[in-house]
């Protein structure tokens, strides 16, 4: 069961397919909102059952909303944590009672859907957690308490801080996508737009209808005229395939882990505008540890966007980032080869956790 956001559903679905290929019977549990959204986008036959792989859904506890809307994240987090456990237990009981399918023998839950651990304990089966974000982000969350112990938070006043501190060709196209949850103001949208336009580079920009908070994402006619012939604006595209295209030279991203991972695996450097969660941590590691990224400040300025784009595409820093990104791509290929660490770790989870005991 994934957390109900695309950056969580995608890796969980990939893991489910890997487990299914190894003989597991899969029940993939979405929230009813995401279940309807999937049917809305892919058609009523999208969830026709593959033998041994079924989809089911439980309510998220929020009022019904439009399929194209972005759910309020704080409200969704609170609602899933406080309302979903009994619905999940009821679903598990229903699966167990189905004479046409085997009983539930293990759970794989999103690490942030912690009620899944309670459900596994309740029915007496092993459980594995999928952490869908970065390892450095996980490290950051684990160390939150240390920030308190070290006296770094609550944050000091500004005065105290002052006292303490004193297009078509190879790698020529900019790909822009801020994920499935990130929102911005209309002013920020325009600053990004004109920063892209003034850079002179061709670009592909995935603009969700709900990208602008409380409004529609609409760009002025003069922007369309300025980028005519070198811009593709779309509301959706297959991101993994887009990033892997040889024409893409840099990825302007919100720095979510799915996007970061896909870019690293494609050998594409990144410009990050982090939004929330561990995205700031991902951004820092891309800049300071992995050498594959640059950052755009939170208060977006078109001139800064243009300057950073030019450096990333044609500057010395950009060339070094591409070299480092290629190194990370090679590492990603090696660890996912048959018999490599990724497969070994998956087999360990299967045998040491999921198959560690039989129910009843």
Tell me, yes or no, whether 291 lies in a domain.
yes
Percent of the chain with pLDDT over 90: 57
Active site residues: 8, 110
Domain extent for 84: 6-132
The model's pTM: 0.69
In a domain, 356, yes or no: no
Least confident range from 88-92, 238-242, 306-310, 336-340: namely: 238-242
- Same structural domain, 128 and 38: yes
Sheet of 248-253: strand order equals 231-234, 203-206, 173-177, 248-253, 270-272, 293-295
Into how many domains does the chain fold?
2
Largest CA distance in the chain: 71
Task: Give yes or no: residues 221 and 110 share one domain.
Answer: no
Domain containing 53 — which CATH number? 3.40.50.2000
- Top pLDDT among 238 and 295 is at 295
Distance CA 341, CA 348 (A): 10
The pLDDT of residue 295 is above 70: yes
Is the predicted pLDDT of residue 156 greater than 60, yes or no?
Answer: no
Residues 223-252: pLDDT tens digits? 999 999 898 888 888 888 889 988 899 999
Within a domain: residue 151? no
Same-domain check for residues 125 and 226:
no
Give a yes or no: residue 209 inside a domain: yes
Q: Are residues 182 and 122 in the same domain?
A: no
Say if residue 68 is in the same domain as residue 217: no
Whether 117 and 182 share a structural domain: no
List the structure tokens of 294: 């640059």
Residue 356's pLDDT is 87
């Amino acid at each position: 069961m994934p957390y109900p956001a695309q950056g969580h559903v995608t890796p969980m679905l990939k893991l489910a397919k890997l487990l299914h290929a190894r003989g597991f019977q899969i029940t993939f549990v979405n929230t009813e909102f995401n279940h309807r959204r999937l049917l809305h986008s892919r058609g009523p036959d999208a969830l026709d059952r593959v033998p041994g792989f079924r989809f089911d859904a439980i309510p998220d506890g929020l009022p019904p909303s439009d399929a194209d809307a972005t759910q309020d994240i704080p409200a969704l987090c609170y609602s899933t944590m406080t309302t979903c456990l009994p619905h999940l237990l009821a679903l598990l009981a229903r699966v167990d009672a189905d004479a046409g399918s085997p009983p539930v023998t293990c759970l794989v839950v999103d690490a942030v859907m912690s009620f899944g651990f309670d459900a596994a304990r309740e029915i007496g089966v092993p459980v594995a957690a999928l952490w869908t974000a970065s390892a450095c982000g996980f490290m950051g969350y684990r160390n939150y308490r240390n920030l308190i112990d070290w006296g770094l938070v609550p944050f000091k006043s500004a005065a105290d801080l002052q006292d303490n501190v004193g297009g078509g060709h190879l790698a020529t196209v900019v790909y822009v996508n801020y994920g499935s949850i990130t929102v911005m103001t209309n002013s920020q949208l325009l600053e990004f737009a004109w920063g892209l336009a003034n850079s002179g580079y061709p670009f592909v920009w995935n603009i969700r209808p709900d990208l602008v908070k409380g409004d529609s994402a609409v760009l002025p006619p003069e922007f369309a005229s300025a980028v005519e012939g070198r811009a593709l604006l779309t509301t959706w595209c297959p991101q993994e395939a887009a990033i892997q295209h040889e024409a893409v030279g840099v990825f302007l991203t919100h720095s979510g882990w799915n996007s970061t991972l896909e870019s690293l695996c494609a050998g594409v450097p990144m410009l990050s505008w982090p939004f929330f969660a561990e995205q700031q941590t991902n951004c820092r590691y891309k800049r300071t540890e992995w050498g594959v990224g640059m950052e755009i400040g939170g208060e977006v300025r078109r001139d800064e966007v243009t300057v950073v784009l030019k450096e990333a595409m044609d500057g010395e820093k950009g060339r070094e980032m591409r070299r480092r990104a290629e190194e990370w791509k090679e590492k990603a290929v090696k660890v996912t080869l048959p018999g490599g660490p990724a497969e070994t770790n998956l087999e360990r989870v299967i045998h040491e956790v999921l198959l560690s005991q039989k129910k009843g």
